[in-house]
Amino acid sequence: MIRTVLAGGLLAMAGAAFGACPPVFQSSGNATLYTPGTLLACSVPVDPLDTMVTALAGAQWDGSAHCGECLEVTGPLGTVTVRVVDRCIGCSAGGLDMHPDAFAQIAPVASGSAAVTWRRVDCPVDGNVLVRIRESANPYYLPFTPDQHRQAIAGIAAMTGSGWEDLPRAEDNTFVLTGGGPYEPPLPLRVVSTSGEVIEQAATSLAAGSVLDLGRQFSACIEDAIFIDGFEPSAG
């Protein structure tokens, strides 16, 4: 079936993966500077060369719900897209603690702080969604952390003997399967984005420190899009 997408007066055909958008997430506040360490609240590794990152104020932390989400931040000098990788304990509501390289694109670094507005946008990711199995894993305790996703993660479920089991999410962005076991591969996992899109893939290894490639990425969000299934525009 052909799916046609109408958005902003433009017509896009079904070759591209377009989808619904997550709920609006936006605010304003004060941006400051910090350099991420190795122990981040979102529990994901950050390449030292990946400097377009930020910590999110505790008031918006929401139990790590926005980990890995991207924000379009606008300040006095311009706009930059950053990824949420950490929590800013000292930030007021709406505040961001940004890497100096990212901050430099929206305000003079010498100023140390700047008033900003920001909103959720799709992350400009390359590759597929990943699920990392934490180093503390064992056959009776499996902590999963999502990574490299275009949109924030709403939930992860695992297929156990009783069916799909929604995994509780911890403050450090870890989804934990425990209380049963021993768990063995292949273990089917279901990862859901905040737009409601679902990706299912079986984990063929449950070894501590291993990484599961989900085989695809979440669809790009198009604001105010109208999807028309089965409609094919004429060539003329």
Q: In this predicted model, what pLDDT tens digit does every residue of 181-193 receive, in sequence order? A: 999 999 999 999 9
pLDDT of 3 higher than 60: no
What confidence tens digit (pLDDT) does each residue in 28-61 have?
Answer: 999 999 988 888 999 999 988 899 999 999 999 9
| CATH class of the domain defined by 130-218 | mainly beta
Compute the distance between CA of residue 43 and CA of residue 174 in angstroms, rounded to an integer: 8
What's the CATH class of domain 18-121? mainly beta
pLDDT tens digits for range 88-114? 999 999 999 999 999 999 999 999 999
Amino acid in the structure at residue 82: V
- The mean pLDDT value of the chain amounts to 89
Angstrom distance (rounded) from CA 60 to CA 25: 9
Task: Give the mean model confidence (pLDDT) for residues 134-141.
Answer: 97
> Are 17 and 59 spatial neighbours (Cβ–Cβ below 8 Å)?
no
Q: Is the pLDDT of residue 212 over 80?
A: yes
DSSP class per residue in 101-165: HHHTTTS-GGG-EEEEEEEEE-----S--EEEEPTT-BTTEEEEEEES-SS-EEEEEEEETTEEE
- Asked whether residue 232 carries a pLDDT value surpassing 50, the answer given is no
Confidence label for 17 from pLDDT (cuts 50, 70 and 90)? low
Reported as a single tens digit per residue, the pLDDT across 164-175 is 999 999 999 999
Q: Which residues of 61-92 are buried (b: 16+ CB within 10 A; e: fewer)?
A: beebbbbbbbbebbbeeeebbbbbbbbbeebe
In 10 A of CB 130, how many CB atoms?
17
Comparing 109-118, 163-172, 218-227, the range with the smallest average pLDDT is: 218-227
Q: In angstroms, rounded to a whole number, what is the distance separating the alpha carbons of residues 97 and 118?
A: 13
Interacting residues of 62 by C-beta distance below 8 A, sequence separation 6+: none
- The pLDDT assigned to 38 comes to 81
Domain coordinates of the chain in residue numbers? 18-121, 130-218
pTM of the model: 0.86
Long-range contacts of 121-126 (CB under 8 A, 24+ apart): 121/70, 121/71, 121/72, 121/81, 122/70, 122/150, 122/151, 122/220, 122/221, 123/68, 123/69, 123/70, 123/81, 123/83, 123/149, 123/150, 123/151, 124/70, 124/81, 125/149, 125/150, 125/217
Cis peptide before 186 (omega within 30 of 0): yes
